[in-house]
């Protein structure tokens, strides 16, 4: 039984190996322009925590109550990003990743009352505030392809760059308006130990598992422009 | 990996021995002794003579130096919110350690009574 399993495995390995058609090294062959767009999910918690910290800071300062709501700012924990990579050879590609992070929006409010001379509570006024957050990242990227054939490639990627975050605070109290935005430029990174890219042709599909500003799980579509394909 | 969930446990009974209808705000934000930014929960309309169990998460209760805070308001207060941090209109404010609750045999009363230690 063990021999049958071993033989089956060997046959499968041989079949996979025969399917691999490594490209011969020639600079013209690897001059690939690879660009794609992806949706990422599960952003590192620290990004949302920073926003929560800002919300708490504003709540403490202006004595506001929080009323979470989801608006047109995107789904928290999601990211949309695009990339461009230029293949230096059959293994290494360099380029950049640009992306937008979906972040929560918050609405804050306060209702003020006072006790009049008859010891009865009276409404004094309302204060309202909105916090809108936006975040973008731009990261130079290096990709190393460690397995490829005509239909499938497996790769790892690393990116490091900048992360721009805008948190806007708009506050109104009895006709008084305050606009106090906070802008930060932070270090952004993305480490992708495993990426799978498949399809036989210039339009390809890919999935990535990693960690960083672009999300833990990414799925997308890419286009590889190759001299060979361009000439078709 | 397992995710531990802690069930809230009744750690004391709050008894309204006054003639007022009360609202009680439970806070786990000690050492911040002002009205909580995020109240643990609120007991509305505790009638004269009535009582209610105060529940705390096990994880909080067994933490070192846990302090339970109760803010007692007249039930006619129009809206509870963070602005009460500035107003200080509470009728009573309890800051209770586990030892205090044991000394009171688990019964917290309003109007407040001195703790016998």
Residue B74: beta bridge partners? B22
Mean predicted confidence (pLDDT) in A157-179: 91
For B82, the closest of A63, A113, A121 (CB atoms) is A63
Contact B37 A56 (CB under 8 A): yes
Interface A-B: count of C-beta contacts within 8 A: 29
Which residues constitute the domain of residue A116?
Answer: 30-230
More reliable by pLDDT, A152 or A44: A152
- pLDDT bin (cut points 50, 70, 90) of residue A82 is very high
Which long-range contacts (C-beta less than 8 Å, at least 24 apart) are formed by A21-27?
A21/A149, A21/A150, A22/A90, A22/A148, A22/A149, A23/A90, A25/A89, A25/A90, A27/A89
In a domain, A95, yes or no: yes
Mean pLDDT, all residues of chain A: 82
Residues of A in contact with B79 (CB under 8 A): 111, 113
In a domain, A10, yes or no: no
A24-83 residues touching B, CB cutoff 8 A: 56, 59-60, 63-66
Q: Which of B34, B79, B86 is best to mutate for the A interface (most A CBs within 10 A)?
A: B79
In a domain, A24, yes or no: no
In a domain, A17, yes or no: no
Query: What are the CA-CA distances from residue B103 to residues A125, A187, B20, B65, B110 (Å)?
Result: 44, 53, 26, 16, 16
Q: What is the model's pLDDT at position A15?
A: 53
In a domain, A15, yes or no: no
pLDDT at position B86 over 80: yes
Query: Number of folded domains in chain A?
Result: 1
In a domain, A8, yes or no: no
Structure tokens at A210: 């990693």
Render pLDDT for A17-64 as a digit per residue (tens, 0 to 9).
555 544 444 444 555 889 999 999 887 777 778 888 888 899 999 999
Q: Which of A58, A63, A120 is best to mutate for the B interface (most B CBs within 10 A)?
A: A63
Q: Provide the residue ranges of all domains of chain B, joining segments of one domain with +.
A: 17-110
DSSP A6: H
CATH number at residue A119: 2.40.160.20
Owner of token pair 């929006």: A105
């Amino acid at each position: 039984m063990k021999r049958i399993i071993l033989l089956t495995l060997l046959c499968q390995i041989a079949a996979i190996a025969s399917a691999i058609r490594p490209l011969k090294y020639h600079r013209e062959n690897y001059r690939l322009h690879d660009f794609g767009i992806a949706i990422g999910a599960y952003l590192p918690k620290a990004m949302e925590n920073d926003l929560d910290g800002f919300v708490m800071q504003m709540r403490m300062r202006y004595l506001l109550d929080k009323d979470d709501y989801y608006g047109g700012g995107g789904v928290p924990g999601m990211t949309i990003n695009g990339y461009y990579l230029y293949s230096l050879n059959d293994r290494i590609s360099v380029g950049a990743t640009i992306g937008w992070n979906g972040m929560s929006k918050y609405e804050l409010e306060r209702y003020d009352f006072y006790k009049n001379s008859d010891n009865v509570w009276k409404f004094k006024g309302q204060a309202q505030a909105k916090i809108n957050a936006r975040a973008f990242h731009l990261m130079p990227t290096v990709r190393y392809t460690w397995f490829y054939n005509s239909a499938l490639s497996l790769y790892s990627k690393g990116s490091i760059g900048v992360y721009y975050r805008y948190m806007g605070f708009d506050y109104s109290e009895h006709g008084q308006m305050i606009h106090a935005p906070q802008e930060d430029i932070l270090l952004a990174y993305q480490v992708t130990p495993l990426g799978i890219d498949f399809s036989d042709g210039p339009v390809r599909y890919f999935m990535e598992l990693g960690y960083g500003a672009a999300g833990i799980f990414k799925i997308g579509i890419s286009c590889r422009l190759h001299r060979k394909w361009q000439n078709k | 990996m397992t995710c531990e969930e802690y069930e809230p446990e009744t750690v004391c009974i709050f008894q309204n021995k006054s003639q007022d209808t009360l609202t009680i705000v439970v806070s786990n934000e000690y050492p911040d002794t002002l009205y909580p930014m995020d109240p643990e929960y609120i007991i509305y309309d505790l009638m004269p003579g009535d009582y209610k169990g105060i529940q705390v998460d096990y994880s909080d209760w067994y933490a070192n130096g846990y302090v339970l805070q109760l803010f007692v308001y007249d039930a006619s207060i129009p809206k509870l919110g963070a602005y009460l941090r500035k107003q200080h209109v509470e009728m009573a404010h309890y800051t209770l350690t586990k030892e205090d609750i044991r000394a009171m045999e688990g019964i917290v009363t309003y109007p407040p009574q001195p703790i016998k230690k």
